[in-house]
């Protein structure tokens, strides 16, 4: 299925593989200012992503930054299509990617997708051709508290444990991009992505939540319902 573009704002577009609201295995992609991608789908789906960019009159050569919410292969994409881009990820994630690439890319993949190991191994083989940097080197505002994150207007980020030990949550205008951090696995303390979501739901229910595999264009926190971990356990916000 090709990517479908949902223009939210003149300089902010969401790309999804789903047109019926169903969960997708390929992570969604966000385009900011026509030259920045937030996540980039899986390597197998990058040709579809490039095709969608072309329909929006965005050349892959004009992409200067690819910012990854985390390093799993279904968010990493085939970065060879964006030769002028620098890829930014969390500092701990970058270190883990260099030391344990297949683990960082989640090659085992919880859904047992047959291509997961193959796509991850391809990424490892080609990693040296990508320009990888810590997000700390990008001129992008980092929030240290959930209160700052809630009040943010420009493109910015907050580091939180959620789907991985170091998820990057993004903020732009009324949108909050939580990646996979509310959908799969793990961390549920007050400073985790779940804790941040609890705070936002209580204090800022007007904010719109975007999740990487939800297949839904947008939803307010109060409409979001209870996220489900990989074990099937529901976690009430």
pLDDT digits (tens, 9 = 90+) for 189-206: 557 888 898 898 889 988
Tell which residue, 176, 152, 184, has the closest CA to residue 72: 184
Query: DSSP string covering 49-67, please?
Result: HHHHHHHTT--GGG--EEE
User: Residue 229's pLDDT is what?
Assistant: 34
Model confidence pLDDT, tens digit, residues 53-74 = 999 999 999 999 999 999 999 8
101 in helix, strand or coil?
helix
Give residue 225's pLDDT: 47
pLDDT above 90: residue 47: yes
Structural domains in the chain?
A: 4-137 (3.60.15.10), 141-224 (no CATH)
Share of the chain above pLDDT 70, in %: 78
Residue 169: its H or E element: strand 167-172
- Buried residues in 39-56 as b, exposed as e (16+ CB within 10 A): bbbbbbbbebbbebbeee
Contact indicator for 211, 180 with CB cutoff of 8 Å: yes
pLDDT in the model for residue 3? 85
- Average pLDDT on 93-114 reads 81
Q: 3-state DSSP call for residue 140?
A: coil
Q: Among residues 159, 154, 120, 161, which one has the least CA distance to residue 139?
A: 154
176 burial type by CB count under 10 A (0-12 exposed, 13-18 middle, 19+ buried): buried
pLDDT at 163 over 80: yes
Q: Can you tell me the distance from the alpha carbon of 60 to that of 150, in angstroms, rounded to the nearest whole number?
A: 32
Residue recorded with tokens 């051709």: 129
**Using CB atoms within 10 A of its CB, is residue 128 exposed (0-12), middle (13-18) or buried (19+)?**
exposed
Instruction: Give the global pTM.
Output: 0.87
Amino acid 112: pLDDT: 56
Residues 13-17: contacts with CB under 8 Å, at least 24 apart: 13/56, 14/210, 14/217, 14/218, 15/49, 15/52, 16/215, 16/217, 17/41, 17/45, 17/48, 17/215
**pLDDT reported for residue 114:** 60
Share of the chain above pLDDT 90, in %: 53
> At which residue do the structure tokens 């910012």 appear?
67
């Amino acid at each position: 299925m090709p990517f479908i573009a949902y223009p939210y704002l003149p300089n902010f577009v969401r790309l999804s593989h789903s047109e019926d609201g169903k969960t997708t295995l390929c992570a969604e992609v966000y385009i900011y200012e026509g030259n920045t991608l937030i996540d980039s789908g899986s390597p197998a789906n990058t040709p579809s992503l490039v095709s969608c960019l072309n329909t929006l009159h965005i050349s892959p050569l004009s992409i200067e930054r690819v910012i990854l919410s985390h390093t799993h292969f279904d968010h990493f994409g085939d970065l060879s299509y964006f030769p002028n881009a620098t890829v930014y990820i969390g500092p701990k994630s970058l270190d883990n990617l260099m030391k344990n690439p297949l683990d960082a890319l989640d090659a085992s993949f919880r859904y047992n997708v047959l291509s997961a190991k193959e796509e991850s191994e391809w990424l490892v083989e080609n990693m040296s051709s990508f320009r990888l940097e810590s997000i700390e080197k990008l001129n992008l505002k980092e929030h240290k508290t959930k209160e700052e994150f809630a009040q943010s207007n420009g493109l910015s980020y907050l580091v939180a444990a959620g789907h991985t030990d170091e998820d990057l949550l993004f903020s732009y205008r009324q949108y909050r991009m939580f990646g996979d951090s509310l959908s799969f696995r793990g961390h549920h303390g007050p400073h985790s992505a779940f804790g941040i979501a609890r705070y936002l739901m209580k204090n800022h229910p007007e904010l719109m939540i975007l999740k990487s595999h939800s297949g839904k264009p947008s939803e307010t926190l109060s409409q979001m319902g209870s996220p489900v971990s990989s074990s099937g356990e529901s976690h009430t916000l």
